[in-house]
Structure 1
Amino acid sequence: MSETRYTGRVTVGGPAQVHELESLMISKVAVGPMDNNAYLLRCRATGEQLLIDAANDAGTLLTLIGDDGIASVVTTHQHGDHWQALAEVVAATGARTYAGREDAQGIPVPTDVPLADGDVVTVGEVALTARHLVGHTPGSIALVYDDPHGHPHVFTGDCLFPGGIGNTRGDAGHFGSLLHDVRTKLFDPLPDETWVYPGHGRDTTLGAERPHLEEWRERGW
């Protein structure tokens, strides 16, 4: 499937959508329990695979992974809807587990590699940079792929969506922290063309959301 045909619109029980980049294939699938998105990344040079958020529906995820297995699985944050299939996927694949250092204790599957801001996670020859975004949870992370053949791609978990940042449950301090981190670690260094893959719902770009940053700050959510 060509890049121009990828829309990022997926539904629970429906097929995955595949975003084909020169060095990386990104398969997006929707699973339970709350229309969660899971992303399978495959290095085109080596065939190595990495899964982002084993949220639910282990059978769906293992079918997507296929016989090649996965080398690693990254959990974007500790909320239960993002790791309900993690134990089964890890048991079936032997994958290394990654999560933000501050969230690792809240995930019932042991984290092999706790991540801090700026740490690099590799899938084959492809490098992803972890950005620590505080507010939705203490240890939420986004993963940034700075595609040398095109624009960047960022997997934001529940920290950034079309129309706003993640839920901070009315806590002004958490909201201010998350908005600050999203602004300084994603919007400031990355261009408008950056493609955003969130933990739920449809994709967006930083360019589509950038004009609304001040609006988000003023409304407080």
Structure 2
Amino acid sequence: MSYTGDVKVGGPVDERALPALTITKVAVDEKMANNAYLLRCHDTGEQVLIDAADSPELLLQLVGDAGLTTVVTTHQHWDHHRALAAVVSGTGAAAVAGEPDADEITSQTGVPVTRRVRDGDTVAVGSCTLEVIRVTGHTPGSICLLYRDPDGSPHLFTGDSLFPGGVGNTFGDADAFRTLIDDVETKLFGTLPDDTWFYPGHGSDSTLGAERPHLAEWRERGW
């Protein structure tokens, strides 16, 4: 069956095999229904996990004997790193996060952030590369991760900064909302093509092309 990105807590994972990279999506925690993404390089077998959100036993089972080089946390909110300590302890993986969120992640999890990344930095998945795009607003140090597939469309992991139907919650902070919608419009929609497939921190996936017509509505609606 082809990849859809529609996963449910307690249900099967969904796997997408690109020419150089396999993406495995799983939903964890019945209440929050967070998404976690395991990326595996075909050339080297190295693996990277995006958001050790919950259910460490399940995540470690997905990692398996191949091991894990890195865990990237997209932002500081508690529901995205509840399994971070257990996964890092169980694998020895390096912990990566956006620089402005790193201290808070360590405070909440007890896990030192091995590498604090900024806009334009990269994270290796074996011979594949993820580009770091800082998108400020949902939290000060939220990051997105972009994989430019040389044989196809771009793939973008957005954490809680972008969902089908709108940007992430800014909790009534008008300035944070303006920053977030500006960054999303400029750094994501302004630079990436419509066929860019994006993978959010909760729920189903979408493409930038499907969401682009609604940018003005989102800006007027606010959050």
Separation of aligned partners in 1, 2:41 and 2:180: 31
Q: CA deviation at 1:176?
A: 0.3
Separation of aligned partners in 1, 2:156 and 2:112: 25
Structure 1 spans left out of the alignment, 5+ residues:
none
Which residue of 1 is the match for residue 94 of structure 2? 96
Structure 2 spans left out of the alignment, 5+ residues:
none
Which residue of 2 is the match for residue 214 of structure 1? 216
SS in 2 for 1:67: helix
Pick one of 10, 14, 24 that aligns with 1:17.
14
Separation of aligned partners in 1, 2:64 and 2:14: 15
TM-score under structure 1 normalisation?
Answer: 0.97
Which residue of 2 is the match for residue 110 of structure 1? 112
1:181-202 deviations in Å (ceiling 9; x for gaps): 1111110110000000000000
Which residue of 2 is the match for residue 126 of structure 1? 128
Pick one of 156, 159, 162 that aligns with 2:161.
159
Separation of aligned partners in 1, 2:59 and 2:66: 13
Separation of aligned partners in 1, 2:9 and 2:97: 25
> Given residue 130 of structure 2, which amino acid in structure 1 is its aligned partner?
L
Say whether residues 1:183 and 2:181 are aligned partners.
Answer: no
SS in 2 for 1:66: helix
Number of residue pairs matched by the alignment = 218
Percent identical pairs in the alignment equals 62
Q: Equivalent residues in 2 for 1:2-151 (5 A)? A: 5-32=2-29, 34-107=32-105, 108=109, 109-151=111-153
SS in 1 for 2:85: helix
Alpha-carbon RMSD: 0.7
Separation of aligned partners in 2, 1:217 and 1:86: 34
Which aligned runs of 4 or more in structure 1 are off by greater than 3 angstroms?
Answer: none
> Given residue 207 of structure 2, which amino acid in structure 1 is its aligned partner?
T
1:45-88 deviations in Å (ceiling 9; x for gaps): 11000000000000110111111111000000000000000000
Q: CA deviation at 1:14?
A: 1.1
Separation of aligned partners in 2, 1:170 and 1:9: 29
